[in-house]
Amino acid sequence: MNPKFRNLYLFLGFIGLAFLAYELVDTYADINPLSILLISLPDMVFFYLAYKTYPAEDNESSRVSI
């Protein structure tokens, strides 16, 4: 995936987490699990997309030689 979108995905993920925290604090007495799920699913997708934009590690460089 294109690494130039990494910051955008991270930004959207953290904005979604902030909205999730606001939703939890605002509706503390009567939390709706469906609304929490609908907010957190796109956040997980954005964090996964940000993870996929990181470059792959080379297997040779990650090995330890004795």
The rounded distance, in Å, linking the Cα atoms of 57 and 37 is 33
- Beta-carbon contacts of 15 under 8 Å, excluding residues fewer than 6 positions away, are none
Residue 47 burial (CB count, 10 A): 17
pLDDT interval class at 64 (50, 70, 90): low
Block residue for tokens 């799920």: 37
The two tokens of residue 60 are 């040779």
Measured CA distances, 29 to 25, 35, 37, 38, 51 (Å): 9, 14, 17, 19, 34
**pLDDT tens track for 21-57:** 999 999 998 999 999 999 999 999 999 999 999 987 7
